[in-house]
Amino acid sequence: MKKRNYSIILGNLGNTCDRFLSTGYKDQPSKEELFRRAASIDDASGIELVGSWDITTENVKQVKALLEETGKKCMSIIPELFSSKIWGKGAFTSRDPDIRKKAVEHTKEMIDAAVELGCDLMNLWPGEDGYDYPLQGNFDEAYSQLLEAIRECADYNRNVRIALEFKPKEPRNYCYLARSADTLLMALDTERENVGVTIDTGHAMVAGENIAEAAFRLNSKGKLFHLHFNDNYRSWDDDMIVGSIHHVEYIELLYWLRKMDYRGWYSMDQYPYREDGVKAISESIENLKALETVIDRYGEGRIGDLIKEGNATEITAAVREMLFKR
């Protein structure tokens, strides 16, 4: 098994809030403590930062020093376009042109911060860009606004990649970037080589997607830029420990990532509301490593043969051997 590049979203190690307890279930640690917690996870060499939460135009030097102190690499920044009141009715697709302008400006500021930190990836999740009610979605205008904003951000620095993260719902009932295919279409429509797609495995599950197929489709167009890993029951974005619910789907995904020679990051993205964040993230990485070992033990060639034959009963027997036979 090749060495994988594992990373963590820094805020997942702190206090995580839900709509029932806006203050969260834990005390919020200092930024320095968050980085110390990240440093304790040896297998994660990368850190993903969220704009405004972790990184601002004012604290770039402080964050850079903390990264150097902990020996971690900032591998991505997520512009904060989803958790502030100003974005409540849309960021890139707000009906207020001043808000649309601020969303682009914030993204550009995060691109500048990324360059200073030696990072070349923006994970762009426009979570508030969507609609809630019938006759509320302004589809043609919203698509044009999204396209224009993403192009402007991509052109700002062609050396920084923009990875569009899709999700079918939440915080809006319908998100404009909802599935892998329509997000791929958006990325292609920008006509920018530095625009691609992030697969969040939990988002893909809620969207009813086969994650491995989505990864293959994006990769075939050269647009699979990034991966977020978590788990759920498929009805909601539960952001649980990877492999706590699904095993076979993750075996399939990891097999195809190998076959496609994906060399990007495996970023842990979960919300351990009541669990110890360090332990929860560590368990996710350990589960992924264990499933990689399952593939090694059974053999990539044998898995490939199963796929070629497509015999469901043989596949079921093979999965039983992979998971339960010593």
Q: How far apart are CA 255 and CA 258, in angstroms?
A: 5
- pLDDT for 143 equals 98
Whether 201 contacts 230, CB under 8 Å: yes
**Proportion of the chain above pLDDT 90, given as a percent:** 98
Compute the average pLDDT of residues 283-290.
98
- 198, 230 in Cβ contact below 8 A? no
Q: For residue range 224-278, what is the model confidence (pLDDT) as tens digits?
A: 999 999 999 999 999 999 999 999 999 999 999 999 999 999 999 999 999 999 9
Average pLDDT over residues 202-220: 98
pLDDT surpassing 90 at residue 2 = no
Q: CB-based contacts of 20: which residues, under 8 Å, 6+ apart?
A: none
Looking at residues 306-311, what average pLDDT do you find?
A: 98
Residues in the chain: 326
Q: What is the mean pLDDT of the segment spanning 278-286?
A: 98
Structural domain boundaries enclosing 188 = 5-324
**Is residue 326 pLDDT above 80, yes or no?**
no
Q: What is the pLDDT of residue 325?
A: 82
Count of domains in the chain?
A: 1
What would the mean pLDDT of 97-120 be, rounded to a whole number? 98
By the 8 A CB rule, do 244 and 250 touch? no
In this prediction, residue 191 has a pLDDT band, given cuts at 50, 70 and 90, of very high
Sorting pLDDT into bands at 50, 70 and 90, what band is 324? very high
Model confidence at 3: pLDDT above 90: no
pLDDT one-digit tens code per residue, 8-42:
999 999 999 988 999 999 999 999 999 999 999 99
User: How far is it, in rounded angstroms, from Cα 88 to Cα 97?
Assistant: 14
CATH number assigned to the domain comprising residue 134: 3.20.20.150
Q: Using the predicted structure, report yes or no on whether residue 188 has a pLDDT greater than 90.
A: yes
Of the candidates 96, 166, 185, 85, the residue with the CA atom closest to the CA atom of residue 126: 166
Structure confidence by residue, pLDDT tens digits, 288-304: 999 999 999 999 999 99
Kindly tell me if the per-residue pLDDT of 120 is higher than 90. yes
Phi, psi of 299 (to 5 degrees): 105, 125
